[in-house]
Chain A
Amino acid sequence: MTDPILEFENVDIRYRTEKGNDVYAVNDASFSIDRHDYFGLVGESGCGKSTIADAIVGGLDSNGEVTSGTIRYKGEEIQDYSESEFNENVRWKEISVIPQSSMNSLDPVMKLSNQAVEMAKYHTDLTETEAVDRLRELFEVVGLSESRIHDYPHQFSGGMQQRAIIAFALYLRPSLIIADEPTTALDVIMQDQIIDYINGLKDEWDISMLMITHDISVVFENCDSMAVMHGGQVAETGSVVDVYDRPRHPYAILLQNAFPDVRFPDRELAVIDGHPPQLRDEVDFCTFADRCPWAQPECREGAPDAQAVAGDDDHQAWCIRADEMEELAAEHLEPNADEESILEGQE
């Protein structure tokens, strides 16, 4: 971990409510994203992954707050930045966001070229012509026809809008892009193309990416490292290969086996019973304990500390039994030794 662009260290994020029963959305979250790395953040809905994205760009709802821990961007602490500091130093120029629903993120009554001009007006000293020219270049990068930059968003299909959003995210040449479920609303073929473009950016644009998704296969295919979240806690973090080959948190293990793999239609899918807790109290326990087949009484007595996984660099699991997992979860860790992919031979 030589040159991190973004570091989370023991971050707690809390949403205050009027009645005083606050929501402890993120608890003791630590991970870091290296420069030029694509980092995947996976977890089910409500696990706090979008809250993390919001916190990075200072976009938490007004009742949300980073209550402790540090968020460092290029070495500088940004968790206590004011609105204007975020606007001046972080948003768009350094960190841009590809939001989940592209259909709702473009101004419907403004031509795309004018939206670019507007952005250039606030953040750069480009002239109008230069601003439009830059958008034209970017349209080419994301595979949209240049002739359509004067269109309105409604003239674009869902996949094209998503590409336009990617073009805008690149507009001010940021160093980090946060992609929050960038392809969830799209069909498989379109999803594949968009991800392919996103992947292409890595080399050409010298960019790091935080990709937030519930789709673990997208992370395994496209990211360099990843974190798995459950119930407001980071469960495991490491390089995708390490997490795939040697998962050490029970949730990471079961999640992998719950995911359908088109190569093995006969495989029994793992089922994770129950659901994550409501997080209405101080989280001083492992939030996965109630769903975990290997839970011990101690799991409910204190939040787990990070355990380094022996033999791997920067691979940590927040489970008190991480060392024993290889043995305990043996049946889940080697399910497909004699299975054969049914897709073999067709490619």
Chain B
Amino acid sequence: MSANDPVLELRSVDKHFQTTSSFVETVKERVFGEGPKLVRAVDDLDMTLEQNQVQGVIGESGCGKTTLLRTVMGLYDPSGGDIRFQGQSTSEFDKSDWKEFRRKVQIVFQDPFNSLDPKFSVRRTIAEPLEIHDIDYERSDIEEMLEKVGLTPASQYIQQFPNQLSGGEKQRVAIARALITDPEVILADEPSSMLDVSTQASILNLLNDLTNEFGVSMIYISHDLSTVSYVCDEINVMYLGRIVEKAETRKLLSDPKHPYTKALIQSIPIPDPHHARERATIGGEPGDPIDMPEGCRFKTRCPERMDVCDQKPRDVDPDGDGERTVACHLYYDHEATAGQVDEPAGEHTPETPT
């Protein structure tokens, strides 16, 4: 790995699932020569996670966020594309590489109530990854980690069991368990969404502090834009398997370009009775991920629908400063770029409209 490699890089990663389950359907497909129907849960997705960066992924349920996370973890084999960790492709990993990868990439799950073993004490929960990876440790290492995630006094928490902890404390234990192996990347799957508001704030603050203190990078997945903005440097907006817009957090919130991003932001309730919010105008729900429309997948709900939306939009950089990409036909001149191969931003792989 060279020093300039990003920690984690996804290059046009696909994850498709086959829907066929019954024998009859399989025979029909064979006879009529149709391919099996695919759920394109993650489709041609690019993402680069730099050292010490927090990338947020937001989208509605069913947009493929969790599939993305599982694919990155190696729980699913990608159907296409390449996942590179510290410059090396995971498809070339052997068994010991995978073990090393699992030490360096840790996950914090959504539900702290079910992700801790009820029969493991806090000490054993946090020691387990160290034992699996043959790392020497002392009790004081565990206590130190507990103090860092805000479980003080550590000597009291270390012998407790999950049923003696509140939801927020459980999530802190889960975070300590993820950090104890000194990882490079943390994958966080809505870590605060099951918690009460008062605890949610402290977990968000904790994640913020820890990424700075430990120098880890993080992919933070959520459906809630208002919490994502507290943690993430960059936000990726995902819609039905594709990233439709990506920009630095403030830029995305203050000046969204994609109609879907605009709708998401307009739908967030504002905790202020004096604020008159304009409600989003889009209707309906995401379509069926099996029979997805050709071209732009958002077109069925889009208030700005045009004829050209039947073609797949390219990623463009409307500001021309390389800090944003948006996949929407509104933001490029189709005639001027017809036949052109390179992206204006120069940095992304071209996608010729199909």
- The answer to whether A189 and B201 have CB atoms under 8 Å apart is no
Complex Cα spacing A254 to B197, Å: 10
Beyond A258-B197, A343-B254, whether A221 also contacts B277 by CB under 8 A is: yes
* B187-241, CB < 8 A from A: 196-202, 204-205, 223-227, 229-230
User: Is B91 part of the binding interface, using a Cβ–Cβ cutoff of 8 Å?
Assistant: no
Is A260 a contact of B201 with CB atoms below 8 Å?
yes
* Complex Cα spacing A44 to B166, Å: 13
Residue A45 interfacial (CB < 8 Å): yes
Is B269 among interface residues, defined by CB-CB distance under 8 A?
yes
Given A44-B198, A271-B201: A192 and B280 within 8 A (CB)?
A: yes
A269 to chain B, nearest CB (A): 4
Contact A189 B200 (CB under 8 A): no
- Asked if A215 lies at the interface with its beta carbon under 8 angstroms from chain B, I say yes
CB distance from A17 to the nearest CB of B (A): 18
Chain B residues, Cβ within 8 Å of A268: 205
- The answer on a CB contact under 8 Å between B267 and A188 is yes
Contacting residue for A187 out of B196, B223, B249, CB 8 A: B223
CB neighbours of B198 from chain A (8 A): 44, 254-255, 258, 271-272
The interface residues of chain B lying within 8 Å CB-to-CB of A244 are 272-274
The digit string for A246-264, where 1 denotes a CB below 8 A from any CB of B, is 0000000011101111110
Confirm or deny: B265 has a beta carbon within 8 angstroms of a beta carbon on chain A.
yes
A218 within 8 A of B: yes
Q: Does A342 contact B (CB under 8 A)?
A: yes
B271 at the interface (CB under 8 A from A): yes
Contact between A221 and B201, CB atoms less than 8 A apart: no
Q: Do residues A262 and B197 form an inter-chain contact, with CB atoms below 8 A?
A: no
Q: How far is the CA of A272 from the CA of B277 in the complex (A)?
A: 28
A12 to chain B, nearest CB (A): 24
Q: Which residues of chain A come closer than 8 Å to B267, judged between CB atoms? A: 188-189, 191-192
What are the residues of chain A within 8 A of B283 when measuring CB–CB?
A: 193
The answer, yes or no, to whether B278 is at the interface (CB within 8 Å) is yes
* Size category of the binding interface on chain B: 35 or more
Does any Cβ of B come within 8 Å of A23's Cβ?
A: no
Q: Are A44 and B274 in contact (CB under 8 A)?
A: no
Q: Contact: B230 with A260, CB < 8 Å?
A: yes
Which chain B residues border A45 with CB–CB below 8 Å? 196
Of residues 244 through 276 on chain B, the ones whose CB sits less than 8 Å from some CB of chain A are 249-250, 253-256, 262-275
CA A211 – CA B212 in complex, angstroms?
40
Collect the chain B residues with CB atoms within 8 Å of residue A261's CB: 226, 270-272
Nearest chain B CB to A85's CB is how many angstroms away? 36
Q: Which residue of the partner chain, among A157, A192, A263, A273, contacts B285 with CB atoms under 8 Å?
A: A157
Please state if B223 and A217 are interface contacts (CB–CB under 8 Å).
Answer: no
Q: A44-B196, A159-B285, A190-B285 are in contact. Are A217 and B269 (CB under 8 A)?
A: yes
What are the residues of chain A within 8 A of B168 when measuring CB–CB?
A: 275
A2 interfacial by beta-carbon distance below 8 Å: no
Interface size of A in residues (CB-CB distance below 8 Å): 46
Which residues does chain B contribute within 8 Å of A273, judged by CB atoms? 202
Q: Do B265 and A262 touch (CB < 8 A)?
A: yes
Report yes or no: B225 in contact with A271, Cβ–Cβ below 8 A.
no
| B204 near A221: Cβ-Cβ < 8 Å | no
**Min C-beta distance of A318 to chain B, whole Å:** 18
Does B37 sit within 8 A of A, measured CB to CB? no
With A259-B271, A269-B230 as contacts: A214 and B250 at CB distance below 8 Å: no
Known contacts A187-B61, A262-B225; A346/B255 CB under 8 A: yes
User: Are A263 and B264 CB-contacts (below 8 A) given A214-B197, A275-B166?
Assistant: no
**B269 & A218 in contact (Cβ 8 Å cutoff):** yes
Question: B43-83: which have CB < 8 Å to A?
Answer: 60-61
B279 within 8 Å of A by Cβ? yes
**With the chains together, A159 CA to B225 CA distance in Å?**
20
User: Inside 8 A of B262's CB, which chain A residues have their CB?
Assistant: 346
For the complex, give the distance between the alpha carbons of A217 and B225 in Å.
14
B166, B201, B229, B283, most chain A CB atoms within 10 A: B201
Question: A152 contacts which chain B residues (CB < 8 A)?
Answer: none
CA distance A196 to B277 in the complex (A): 12
**Bound-state Cα–Cα, A167 to B269, Å:** 24
- Min CB distance, A263 to chain B, in Å? 7
- Whole-angstrom distance between the alpha carbons of A196 and B266 in the complex? 13
User: A260 and B60 in contact (CB under 8 A), knowing A190-B285, A269-B205, A342-B253?
Assistant: no
Of A190, A241, A260, A346, chain B has the most CB atoms within 10 Å of the CB of A260
Residue pair A220, B271 in contact (C-beta under 8 Å):
yes
A265-B205 in contact given A258-B198, A260-B227 (Cβ < 8 Å): no
Indicate whether A292 reaches chain B with its CB closer than 8 angstroms: no
Q: Determine the residue in chain B with the shortest Cβ distance to A345.
A: B254
Q: Which of B200, B205, B227, B271 contacts A256 (CB 8 A)?
A: B271
Which of the listed residues A159, A259, A265, A344 has the most CB atoms from chain B within 10 Å of its own CB? Answer: A265
The proximity string for A residues 198-231 relative to B, scoring 1 for CB distances below 8 Å and 0 otherwise, is 0000000000000000111110110000000000
A346 cross-chain contacts in B, Cβ below 8 A: 254-256, 262, 265
Of the candidates B265, B266, B273, the one having the most CB atoms from chain A within 10 angstroms of its own CB is B273
A264 to chain B, nearest CB (A): 9
> What residue in chain A is nearest B283 (Cβ atoms)?
A193
- Using CB atoms, name the residue of chain B closest to A195: B269
Known A44-B197, A189-B264; 17 more pairs at CB < 8 Å: A45-B196, A157-B285, A188-B268, A192-B269, A192-B280, A241-B274, A244-B274, A256-B271, A262-B270, A265-B229, A269-B202, A269-B230, A271-B205, A272-B201, A346-B254, A346-B255, A347-B278
Pairs A–B under 8 Å by Cβ, sample size 25:
A157-B285, A159-B285, A187-B223, A188-B223, A188-B225, A188-B267, A189-B285, A193-B283, A195-B269, A216-B197, A217-B268, A244-B274, A258-B201, A259-B201, A259-B271, A260-B204, A262-B226, A269-B201, A269-B204, A272-B201, A275-B168, A343-B253, A343-B265, A344-B254, A345-B254
Contact surface of A with B, Cβ cutoff 8 Å:
44-45, 157, 159, 187-193, 195-196, 214-218, 220-221, 240-241, 244, 254-256, 258-263, 265, 268-273, 275, 342-347
